[in-house]
Amino acid sequence: MSRRRRQQQQDTTDSNHEVRGPSSALTSFLREQGINAEAIRLRYEETLRQQAEQGTSILYEGDEETEEIRAIRQRASIKRSRANNDIDDDEAEINEDDGEGKNYCIECDKEFVVSVYSKKMENYGRIGYLCGDCTAIQIKKDRLSRANEIEARKRRKKVAAALLDREEYKLPSLQDCCIQIISKNIDDVELLGDIGVANSKKISRILSKNRSLDSKTMTLFLDPSLKEIEFWDCSNISSDALTQLAANCPLLESITLNLCGRLHNDNLLYYSDKLKNLQHLNLNGPFLINDSMWQGFFDSDVGRNLKGFHLRNTHRFMPDSLIALLDNCGNNLEYLTLSRLDGLTTKTAYDLLPHYLQKLKHLEISYPNKEELIDDDLIVSLLSINGETLETLILDGCSGLSDQFLIGGIRPFCPSLTKLSTVLLDQITDEGMTQLFTNWEINGGLMDINLSRCIEIGDDGAYAMLEHSGQTLVELSLNSVKLLTKKFFTRLSRNLRFPLLTALDIGFVRSCDDSVLAILSRIAPKLSILEIYGDNRCTHKAIVRSDLRVIGRQSDSI
Amino acid sequence: MSDSEQDQLSTFVTLISNDGFQFQISRDAAVVSGTLKGMLNTSFQESSTNKIKLHELDAVLLEKVIEYLYYNLKYKESVDVPEFDIPTEMALELLVAADFLDV
């Protein structure tokens, strides 16, 4: 009311240009159209009056309800009065009353008296009440369906969580249950006993993941007959314990130590003295080992025997260390990894590689300190010597490389290559890929290709690659190869099949949509993991095989 | 031996622990274990007699294993499952047994 009065006041004062409060765009629009609250109220009252006059049969739901409630109240008051009056009289009264509006259960059609506890239901196109028995059943059903809904939601949540771990949700096996308990109580375990190498490895990995692998728990995995050992988190293993490792397992042929920042010069010295059979050394983050120790290690009997050397994440591995490595065992090396070694800052050190290495099966040079350090000429000359035996080539982050090493190095020299990884090589073009893979007859096909973030590759290059290796390919990553279009996938669908492909990553290839998922599901029958992070045209509606796990859809995370 | 008796036998199998205890369990539960499944589905003696002697396991351990077999059978399809209870001191032995039985 007050608002209307104010409005009227405004109308009268408007012409006088007096001060008034702010008015919204809607208010001024309505005023222009001559619409105000008074007019709306009048119109509503008019329609009400018309309806009453016509005696219209249209009943609003609210009205119906009030009538019903009135009926219930009436009956209740009768019931109450029955307590005071003669019983026979009352029953007659009720029967009379029910004669007009008899109530039948909407479900079982039983005649009954509506009470406040009767459940109202809409069914078979009409609205009615349920009798006492049916109400009880229905309430139970509702409760159950609510419980089922909660159960289903829980299931979806667990399945989604498992999906992110690239696993299928399933009941844990008895072995997993046991391993979990053992890992939880690892401090009380004195001896693992004969639990099998696979289980022991599993426990060790779980402990690493939980970050509970330390000097004490580590000793559980030491065995004098052991030939291989792997610890994926050595940050809590003291230097002394690392010495113990070599003392307890003198027959070791392969050592893998991850996050081994506590590996000391003395440890490596001890290894070079004791581990006569050592052939493979895989270290990640041994930044305490200095230049002279590296040189000393490679110069020892053990160092000279190395067949595999993998080193990542240390800035203390200097050009002279690399020269010592090459001098002593360069001719024997079959597996070599040099990743994120920021101490190697001179090109001359890298340029020595082709002079020593000659029978490499695995070569990884990734993320060098500066991109100029690794150039096409170096890789081409390395491949010209080692190409015959080379199976794995990883050149992630060597962004100084261009098409030339593909066409002049890999194509002519690498018949046995099965794995190629060129993450972040932004100078590789569509043209280069096409030239490498078109009619590349000496190579029978690659099994694992990673072209993540090779952003210059387009439809033609990728197609040539898949045409060449489609039959043998097991894993493929085209993450962020953003130039790929929908046409590329249709072309695959029409011409190619991938009988062995099991894992595919096409995240951030934005042309990928539901129909692409359906195509991939069809043309790669073995595909079990498909990652599509960042492909926001992919929805839960995609029609894919039930055994294909699609990871990274927005709709998966509930 | 009549046919009905044969059917009767094949729905249950007997597991015998190394200290002589016998456990009758349903075949459905037994085949949860890969090892037992292999024994029962081949032409070995075990598949005709439906008796399997497990020399590696004593009664306490075998009982726990059987408890798991039924646990697995019951909750295979559901999500909100209660945790399978294993006494801490038994975990290592049970792991060896589980490794052997492939469960």
- Chain B residue numbers with beta carbons less than 8 Å from the beta carbon of A185 are 88, 91
Mutation to test the B interface, candidates A174, A180, A197, most B Cβ within 10 Å? A174
Residue A270 is classified by DSSP as H
| Tens digit of each residue's pLDDT (9 = 90 or more) over A376-432 | 999 999 999 999 999 999 999 999 999 999 999 999 999 999 999 999 999 999 999
At residue A76 the predicted structure's pLDDT band, cuts being 50, 70 and 90, is confident
Domain positions in chain A are 30-92, 103-163, 171-347
Pick the residue with more confidence: B50 or A321? Answer: A321
Mean pLDDT of A126-145: 84
Q: Tell me: pLDDT of A81 over 70.
A: no
In this structure, of A30-39, A79-88, A294-303, B4-13, the range with the lowest mean pLDDT score is A79-88
Q: Which of A154, A171, A179 sits opposite B95 (nearest CB)?
A: A179
Q: Do A182 and B75 touch (CB under 8 A)?
A: no
Q: Are A443 and A471 a contacting pair, CB within 8 Å?
A: no
Q: What's the rounded mean pLDDT across residues A80-87?
A: 56
ipTM, 2 dp:
0.87
The pLDDT assigned to B4 comes to: 44
Res A21: pLDDT: 67
Q: Within 13 Å and on the Cβ side, how many CA atoms surround A118?
A: 20
Of B75, B79, B98, the CB nearest to A178: B98
User: For A460-500, what is each residue's pLDDT tens digit?
Assistant: 999 999 999 999 999 999 999 999 999 999 999 999 999 99
Question: Mean pLDDT throughout A39-63?
Answer: 69
- The partner residues of A312 in beta bridges, in order of sequence, read A284, A339
Cα–Cα nearest to B67, from B19, B15, B18, B20? B15
Question: pLDDT band at A57, cuts 50/70/90?
Answer: very low
The mean pLDDT of A526-555, rounded to a whole number, is 90
- What's the pLDDT score for residue B8? 45
Please report the pLDDT score of residue A24 as a whole number. 76
- Contact residues, chain B, for A148 at CB < 8 Å: none
Interface contact flag, B80 A154, Cβ < 8 Å = yes
A151-168: pLDDT as tens digits? 778 777 777 777 777 777
Give B66's contacts in chain A (Cβ within 8 Å): none
Cβ–Cβ below 8 Å for A195 and B76: no
Check which CATH number belongs to the domain holding B42 and give it: 3.30.710.10
Checking if the pLDDT of A59 tops 50, the result is: no
Residue A271 or residue A8, greater confidence? A271
What pLDDT sits at residue A401?
96
- Asked whether the predicted pLDDT for residue A73 surpasses 80, the reply is no
Confidence of residue A17 (pLDDT cuts 50, 70, 90): low
A214/chain B closest Cα distance in angstroms: 20
The position carrying tokens 């042929």 is A253
Q: Is the pLDDT of residue B2 over 80?
A: no
User: Per this entry, what is the length of chain A?
Assistant: 558
pLDDT averaged over chain A?
A: 86
Domain that holds residue B11: 3-101
**Chain B nearest C-alpha distance from A393 (Å):** 37
Fold classification of A171-347 (topology level): 3.80.10
Contact call for residues A101 and A114 (beta carbons, < 8 A): no
Q: What share of chain B is helix, strand, coil (3-state, %, to 5)?
A: 55, 15, 35
Dist CA A105 CA A103 (whole Å): 7
DSSP-derived letter for residue A104 is B
Tell which residue, A391, A332, A384, A328, has the closest CA to residue A359: A332
- Specify the number of domains making up chain B: 1
The answer to whether the predicted template modeling score (pTM) of the entire model surpasses 0.95 is no
Which residue is closest to B74 within chain A, CA to CA? A171
Q: Residue A91 pLDDT more than 70?
A: no
**Is residue B69's pLDDT more than 90?**
yes
pLDDT grade for A232, boundaries at 50, 70 and 90: very high
Among A154-163, A187-196, A411-420, B72-81, the range scoring the smallest mean pLDDT is A154-163
Candidates A154, A178, A195; nearest CB to B79: A154
Instruction: Report the C-alpha gap between B46 and B39 in whole angstroms.
Output: 6
pLDDT at residue B70, as a whole number: 93
Q: Are A433 and A459 in contact (CB under 8 A)?
A: no
Residue in chain B nearest A192 by alpha carbon: B92
The percentage of residues in chain A with a pLDDT greater than 70, rounded to a whole number, is 88
Residue A61 has pLDDT above 50, yes or no: no
pLDDT at A64: 54
Q: Which residues of chain A does B99 touch, with a Cβ-Cβ cutoff of 8 Å?
A: 175, 195-196, 198-199
- Strand blocks (E) in A441-543: 448-450, 475-477, 503-505, 529-531
- B26 CA: distance to closest CA in chain A (Å): 18
Q: Encode A178-231 in three state secondary structure.
A: HHHHHHHCHHHCCCCCCCCHHHHHHHHHHHHHHCCCCHHHHHHHCCCCCCEEEE
Query: Which residues on chain B are in Cβ contact (under 8 Å) with A193?
Result: 92, 96
Closest CA of chain B from A184, distance in Å: 10
Handedness of CA B31, B34, B38, B39 (dihedral sign): negative
